[in-house]
Structure 1
Amino acid sequence: MPQHILMIEDDHRLAQMVGEYLGQAGYRFAHAGDAASGLAAVYDQPPDLVVLDLMLPDGDGLDVCRRIRERTDVPVLMLTARGDPTDRVVGLEVGADDYVPKPFDPRELLARVRAVLRRRSAPSASTALRFGRLEIDRDAREVRVAGQAVVLTSHQYDLLLTMAEHAGKVLSRDQLMDLVRGTPLEPFDRSIDVHIARIRAVIEDDPKQPRRILTVRGAGYVFAKLQDA
């Protein structure tokens, strides 16, 4: 069955254009013109991916993203205003997996959609990774700390898994983005830092004094192989 994309966007002409483009690429497409109907659609029949506009007539896209994330781990691709990095950072902090700035080329949107869905459905090794109290279950795409499941977005899970699979190796921000998303960072893009902060918040005892994911000044990040953390 074709994968299902839901777009929550108040610009009906834009949504029609995107729907036709994604439909030609083989996806099922549905459109909601406001926050209320979009949330109802997500709750009723969760799609494979949500394309979410930041500005909606009856609510803030950031709030919609928060509410989606409270109920489901459906990937969210957020549409943001060009040149406004604050919107992008906040969007990532509330649970968006990726973002596309407006105005956008439909080909870029399609590439981002494919990348998010590919990460979501990619086959993985059957064994879990264990580092002390931290366990990354590749079959269930679940992260547990001391046996308790923690909440990460799909993108954050992929980022953590990538670092764990390269434990002990310093990875630059560009290397991480290329390994996880398959695209280079844009100039001054700090989205990796935002995701790392969110991951630390749920896996570290003290996110301000991390022991598992360490910053290597001027180089990037390294996942420590500690077994007692």
Structure 2
Amino acid sequence: MTNGKGAVLLIVEDDREMRSLLCDEFCGMGYQLREARDGDEAFLSVLQSVPDAILTDLRMPAGGDDYVSRLRTVAPQCPIVVMTAFGDARLKAQVLKAGANAYFDKPVHIAELKNCVQQLLNHGPGAEGR
């Protein structure tokens, strides 16, 4: 795994302001960023080139737990971190079963999110769901 410097992070978020905030935060850590506005755009991006990690919203166009499953089929080793404002314990279990490595409820604590992504990049996709 990579330590973050130069790692490619795909940020998938349909809310432009949230996507911009996430990009600003992770850019400052030395990541190379790619962006997608929805699940379909993210899937096509991953098909073209698998990033080192994926940070994605869940409830967006072409999102959901089957979207996470689709990502997992084309990027089996890539860490996937999911965020949602509309989650509960059942959804968290579904998303982790679908292949996400970590799950965060919104509003997200940026420091925890950054730490999680860094740990996954340093230690691989075997990290526990949050």
- Superposition TM-score tier, normalisation by shorter sequence: 0.7 to 0.9
Could you state the TM-score of these two structures normalised by the residue count of structure 2?
0.87
Q: Give the letter aligned to residue 70 of structure 1.
A: T
Task: Report the 3-state secondary structure (helix = DSSP H, G, I; strand = E; otherwise coil) of the residue aligned with 2:108.
Answer: coil
User: In the TM superposition, what is the alpha-carbon distance from 1:9 to its structure 2 partner?
Assistant: 0.9
| Selected match of 1:75 from 76, 79, 83 | 79
Report how far residue 39 of structure 1 moved: 0.4
| 1:147-203 deviation digits (Å, cap 9, x = unpaired) | xxxxxxx32xxxxxxxxxxxxxxxxxxxxxxxx56xxxxxxxxx69xxxxxxxxxxx
CA contact (8 A) 1:76 1:98 kept: yes
Q: Percent of counterpart pairs with the same letter?
A: 26
SS of the residue aligned with 1:118? helix
Cα distance in 2 for residues equivalent to 1:35 and 1:51 = 12
Q: Deviation of residue 90 (structure 1)?
A: 0.5
Alpha-carbon deviation of 1:83? 6.0
Query: Which of 66, 81, 84 pairs up with 2:69?
Result: 66
Q: Which residue of 1 aligns with 2:109?
A: 105
Unaligned runs of 5+ in 2: none
* Contact 1:81/1:87 (<8 A) preserved: no
Tell me the equivalent position of 1:84.
88
The TM-score, its normalising length taken from structure 1, stands at 0.51
Q: Which amino acid aligns with 1:68?
A: L
Contact kept, 8 Å, 1:5 with 1:47, in 2: the verdict is yes
Instruction: Please give the root-mean-square deviation of Cα atoms over the aligned residues, in Å.
Output: 1.9
| Of 42, 48, 51, the match for 1:44 | 48
Cα distance, 1:36 vs structure 2: 1.1
Q: Among 12, 23, 29, which residue is 1:19 paired with?
A: 23
User: Are the counterparts in 1 of residues 53 and 79 from structure 2 also a CA contact under 8 Å?
Assistant: yes
Aligned to 1:10: 14
Unmatched runs of 5 consecutive residues or more in structure 1: 121-153, 156-179, 182-190, 193-229
Aligned to 1:28: 32
What CA deviation, in whole Å up to 9, does each residue of 1:114-149 have, x standing for no partner? 1111112xxxxxxxxxxxxxxxxxxxxxxxxxxxxx
More strand by share: 1
Following TM superposition, the consecutive aligned residue runs of length 4 or more in structure 1 with deviations greater than 2 angstroms are 80-83
Using the alignment, how far apart are the partners of 2:98 and 2:12 within structure 1? Answer: 17
Aligned-partner Cα distance in 2 for 1:76–1:83: 16
- For residues 55-90 of structure 1, give each alpha carbon's deviation from its aligned partner in whole angstroms, at most 9, with x where no partner exists: 012x23312111111122211101123661111110
Counterpart residue identity of residue 67, structure 1: R
Q: Which structure ranks higher in relative contact order (CA pairs < 8 Å, sequence separation ≥ 6)?
A: 2
